[in-house]
Amino acid sequence: MSELRRSWVESANSAATPFPLNNLPYGVFSTGPTPPRCGVAIGDRILDLAGLEAAGALAFGGVFAEASWNRFMARGQADWARLRAALTAALAEGSDQRAALAPHLVPMDTAKLHLPFEVREYTDFYASRHHATNVGTMFRGADKALPPNWLHIPIGYNGRASSVVVSGTDVIRPHGQIKGPDDVLPRFAPSARFDLELELGAIVGQPSSGPLSVAEGFAAIFGYVLLNDWSARDIQAWEYQPLGPFQGKATATTISPWIVTVAALAPFRVAAPPREVPLLPYLEEPGPMLYDIALEVGLTPEDGVETILARTNARELYYSAAQQLAHHASSGCPMRVGDLLGSGTISGAGPEARGSLLEMSWGGAEPITLADGQCRRFLEDGDTLTLRGAARGAGYQIGFGPCRGRVLPARAL
């Protein structure tokens, strides 16, 4: 395991910061009246890359003055590596560039964070075996928990790119058609079974116009974000047959504000779990393609204290983002710079590692007691959900920043 790289930005040398020199995640920020622009997180500061480029300290064609990382991503792997190497050297302890960079460091607590990239398309997968088994057991019984195709294919559905919002954005409880087991007809009402999904999102950084191998898919991924796929379970239950999720998944998808690059996560690559059945050759991995990223989700009621609902790890996934991308492109489906792939809910083997309230409360049958004594089966108005994640090295961590959203009451219709 690699060790902490020390920086002249002192706050980046703390074991508590999610943004050491080893990380250097990319985001979009604004301060006061200035327009959103590209920056990199280092300790408790944001390095203003647009300002650096305007001052002549970087030369990437003016891409950092834009309010997204899409144009930079499109430049390809050589420039990805060139920027990371330049920033690592310039911010390292003992660098002779300190005087040039210091005026372009912005206190993070004075900045507003925006969506870090323009989401072109959004696809959500179902790649955690424990999650799929739990949900299948609830609805089909333990002997038929996994669909027949699950061990052979990364299952997914096409979502709405327009639903993706940055951390800190409030989420309004959705209305939809709902039909309970005792209802003769469906009714139109606010969702009473509103839920979270603890996921990892992969960002496609290179386009394709035909099939990709898993290795090519891995090379096309620019980085990762935490992702909460808000889900209205009662709306979903009525609508999903025969074509799958639609309005129950269209309310919002919250992502963390910083893109953690594949390069930053490289020391934390791990192998997939053992395969119960061999995968078809086009899905076979040429090497470890999952990551050892500790994940947790906390719930804070309105005017209450936070309860950590679950802790799990991204290594619990059965299919990697590279496999998901290879399968997505296998039909010839073009992939574009800025496409977002959600992993699906990440759950571990035990009850304490379940990544959705649907699983935690076992479909609402087993209420969860919060730290202040309140109970939850599903989300209540005023609840704030916070997803956190970090890959932990020797004396440092590679973090994403919080992925947070608060539930607001349904609008009157």
Task: Tell me the pTM.
Answer: 0.97
Contacts of 77 (CB under 8 A, 6+ apart): 206, 219
Long-range contacts of 7-11 (CB under 8 A, 24+ apart): 7/42, 7/43, 7/91, 7/92, 7/93, 8/91, 8/92, 8/93, 8/94, 8/95, 8/98, 9/42, 9/43, 9/45, 9/91, 9/105, 10/43, 11/43, 11/44, 11/45
Q: CATH number, domain at 378?
A: 3.90.850.10
* Confidence at residue 196, expressed as pLDDT on a 0 to 100 scale: 98
Residue 365 three-state SS: coil
Residue 226, token pair as written in the block = 């935490």
Domain boundary among 114, 145, 160: 114
Decide if pLDDT at 248 tops 60: yes
**Residue at token pair 């956190």:** 388
**pLDDT, the chain, mean:** 97
Residue finishing a domain among 94, 114, 134:
114
| 226 and 286 co-located in one domain | yes
293-331 per-position pLDDT tens digit? 999 999 999 999 999 999 999 999 999 999 999 999 999
Is residue 347 located within the same domain as residue 207? yes
What CA–CA distance (Å, rounded) separates 46 from 27?
A: 9
Decide if 298 is inside a domain: yes
Q: Mark whether 104 and 131 lie in a shared domain.
A: no
H or E stretch at 87: helix 77-91
For the stretch 259-275, pLDDT in tens is 999 999 999 999 999 99
301 in any annotated domain: yes
pLDDT for the residue 182:
86
Residues 71, 52 share a domain:
yes
Same structural domain for residues 49 and 179? no
The yes-or-no answer on residue 104 being catalytic is no
234 domain residue, yes or no: yes
Q: Decide if 107 is inside a domain.
A: yes
DSSP 273: P
Residue 255 is predicted with a pLDDT of: 98
Whether the per-residue pLDDT at 48 is higher than 90: the answer is yes
Pair 141, 98 in one domain: no
Q: Report how far residue 32's alpha carbon sits from residue 263's, in angstroms, rounded to the nearest whole number.
A: 32
Q: What is the CATH number of the domain that holds 23?
A: 2.30.30.230
| pLDDT at residue 293, as a whole number | 98
Of 360, 294, 377, 379, nearest in space to 131 by CA: 360
Per-residue model confidence as pLDDT tens digits over 168-205: 999 999 999 999 888 899 999 999 999 999 999 999 99
Query: Which band of pLDDT confidence, cut at 50, 70 and 90, is reported for residue 2?
Result: confident
Q: How confident is the model at residue 346 (pLDDT cuts 50, 70, 90)?
A: very high
pLDDT tens figures, 284-295: 999 999 999 999
Q: Which domain does 84 fall in, by range?
A: 10-114
Mean pLDDT of 58-73: 97
Residues 150 and 298 in one domain: yes
Instruction: Write down the pLDDT at residue 128.
Output: 96
Tell me, yes or no, whether 401 lies in a domain: yes
Q: Does 225 share its domain with 295?
A: yes
Q: Is residue 4 part of a domain?
A: no
- Cβ of 58: how many Cβ atoms within 10 Å? 20
Catalytic residue among 104, 131, 175, 328: 131
- Whether residue 106 lies inside any domain: the answer is yes
Q: Is residue 172 included in any domain, yes or no? A: yes
279 lies in the same domain as 395: yes
Domain count, the chain: 2
Residue after which a domain boundary falls, among 73, 92, 114: 114
Neighbours of 316 (CB within 10 A): 21
What is the average pLDDT across 77-90?
Answer: 98
Does 80 lie in the same domain as 150?
Answer: no
My answer on whether 321 and 351 are in the same domain is: yes
In degrees rounded to 5, what are phi and psi of residue 353? -120, 25
Query: Do residues 128 and 66 both lie within one domain?
Result: no
User: H-type helices in 1-65, by residue range?
Assistant: 49-54
pLDDT of residue 181: 86
